[in-house]
Structure 1
Amino acid sequence: MSIDVEWARGELARFLELTELYRPPDPPGMTVWTTRKSNRGSQEDIVASAHVVEQILDRVLPGWRTEVPGNGRVNRWSQHREAAQRADVALQRDAEIQERLGDTALRLNAGNLHPWVWAAARPLWRGGHFREAVTAAARRVNRQTQDKVGRRDATETALFQSVFSKDDPKPGGAEAAADARRRKRHLPQRPTRRGCLRRGLHAGIRNPNSHEDGLPELPEHEALEQLAAFSVLARWVDTAILTT
């Protein structure tokens, strides 16, 4: 779903109005010497507005929490204000800028990833914990797959080897549920390729992120690419049908 630009710009403008800094007038008959400024809106109104604005910023400028500077010592909302100003320009002029600069490449929006992936990753992503966000997304896809096939006896590689096996389910007995197979609705003739993808994600991304200490934080763009890979897997599982 595309963003409602007019509505989003209105919310950003309202937030900027509430958080504008000004010097309150001196009380009658008094002169106060201070450089301290206050926000025009009440903290209650600002917090309520920020709840909406943060979600707009996450859509328009996904990396704003780590990329946009802020100075909390000057004002609590300084980073939000600069991000809101940048987002407003982006909403107005991104199409024009891309056309003028010749940058017409598609951009990956985290909000458009499969809900299993982004819902799990978003809280950590907002804090700049990109590697942990990818790990959380991988775990969520694993849990959702277990739920869909009704299995708790296998996880990750073993689970997906069974899920995307091209063999027929074994009939009857205690192993019937354990041998339930998933099929991709549109490409049922290629299930092993999905298993190969999941094994690659497990070995190349999930294991190192979870079990190797001292790894540096992932660059944001690299982490987003990894989330996109898990999003592909999540959609395959989500749209698959169960064979018995």
Structure 2
Amino acid sequence: MSIDTAWARDELAHFLQLTELYRPPDPPGIFSVRVSRANRGPQKDIIASAQVVEQILDRVLPRWRTEVPTGDNKSVNRWCQHREAAQRADTVLLRDAEVRDRLGDNAPQLSAGVMHPWVWDGARALWQSGHYREAVTAAAKKVNAEMQNKTGRRDASETGLFQSAFSREAPKPGQPRLRLMADDGSDTFRSIHRGVMAFAEGCYAGIRNPNSHEDGLPELPEHEALEQLTAFSILARWVDSAAVQSA
């Protein structure tokens, strides 16, 4: 689902209004030389707003926690990083399409935030800290865990589990099958389930295993990691939408 731009911009604007810095007036009859500034909004309102704004930032600027500068001394207001990230995100929401069109890159954009929740929930924390290879591995593990949950099995995992679950054979005790369509004896039924098994083997043998078992591999470029996440998102959607058949 695409982001509601108008709503997101309103939330960002509200947060920026709450966190605006100003110099509080001196009490009557007292003159202070202090230069410290405070936020205009109450902290409880700022914290509540930040809970929503952080999720918007995670969608619009996934690396904002590491790429947007933070203050390096105690005199910097605690919301400075959030404010700059919110300002950047608002510009992206307002002008991203224009910038891509002007720069000659108006191809469709893919966001990890719109991938299947199993994948992004598994990858999110590592992705936001720039650990892309580990993020893909975490997503692969999450999909495998959800596959085990759906089939009620702990005796098989990854490629072996997918091969068993999407086998065209009838279910057996302790070995349920997953079906993306009814078995009508058609070539389509056979093709779909054979394809899922082959695709799952490619994901785990060609992506998950090298990422997990090869020491000293360089960090994945972000765009390559995003492509790998997409593969597991496809797999997750198949599993999530499949019907369970038990013996």
TM-score by length of 2: 0.84
What amino acid does structure 1 have at the position aligned with 2:22? Y
Identity between Structure 1 and Structure 2 (%): 63
Determine whether 1:155 maps to 2:157. Answer: yes
Q: Tell me which of 168, 173, 176 is aligned to 1:176.
A: 173
Aligned to 1:132: 134
Aligned to 1:222: 224
Q: Is the 8 A contact 1:71 1:79 kept in 2?
A: yes
With 133-142 and 44-53 compared, the bigger mean Cα shift is at 133-142
Q: What SS class does the counterpart of residue 182 from structure 1 fall into?
A: strand
Aligned residues: 238
Q: What SS class does the counterpart of residue 190 from structure 2 fall into?
A: coil
Aligned to 2:51: 51
Distance 2:117 2:52 in 1: 19
Which residues in structure 2 correspond to 1:32-71 (within 5 Å)?
32-71=32-71
Instruction: Report deviation, 1:152.
Output: 1.8
Unaligned runs of 5+ in 2: 183-187
Q: Is the 8 A contact 2:63 2:129 kept in 1?
A: no
With 181-190 and 11-20 compared, the bigger mean Cα shift is at 181-190
Deviations 1:26-54 (A, max 9, x none): 33333333332222222222111100111
Q: Is the 8 A contact 1:182 1:241 kept in 2?
A: yes
Instruction: Report deviation, 1:153.
Output: 1.1
Q: Is the 8 A contact 1:185 1:239 kept in 2?
A: no
Distance 1:240 1:7 in 2: 34
Aligned to 2:189: 188
Deviations 1:79-104 (A, max 9, x none): 21111111111222222222322221
Deviations 1:109-140 (A, max 9, x none): 12211122122222433444433332222112
Distance 2:99 2:216 in 1: 40
Distance 2:27 2:212 in 1: 59
What amino acid does structure 1 have at the position aligned with 2:34? T
Give the direction of change, closer, same or farther, for the CA distance of 1:209–1:34 in structure 2 (3 Å limit): farther
Q: Is the 8 A contact 1:124 1:130 kept in 2?
A: yes
Aligned to 2:208: 206
Q: Is the 8 A contact 1:163 1:181 kept in 2?
A: yes
Aligned to 1:5: 5
Give the direction of change, closer, same or farther, for the CA distance of 1:45–1:127 in structure 2 (3 Å limit): farther
> What do you get for the CA RMSD once the two structures are aligned?
2.4
Instruction: Report deviation, 1:72.
Output: 5.1
With 216-225 and 148-157 compared, the bigger mean Cα shift is at 216-225
TM-score by length of 1: 0.85
Distance 2:38 2:216 in 1: 43
Give the direction of change, closer, same or farther, for the CA distance of 1:52–1:72 in structure 2 (3 Å limit): farther
What amino acid does structure 1 have at the position aligned with 2:126? L
Distance 1:221 1:65 in 2: 19
Q: What SS class does the counterpart of residue 178 from structure 2 fall into?
A: strand
Which residues in structure 2 correspond to 1:70-85 (within 5 Å)?
70-71=70-71, 73=73, 74-85=76-87
Q: What SS class does the counterpart of residue 28 from structure 1 fall into?
A: coil
What amino acid does structure 2 have at the position aligned with 1:7? W
What amino acid does structure 2 have at the position aligned with 1:117? V
Aligned to 2:123: 121
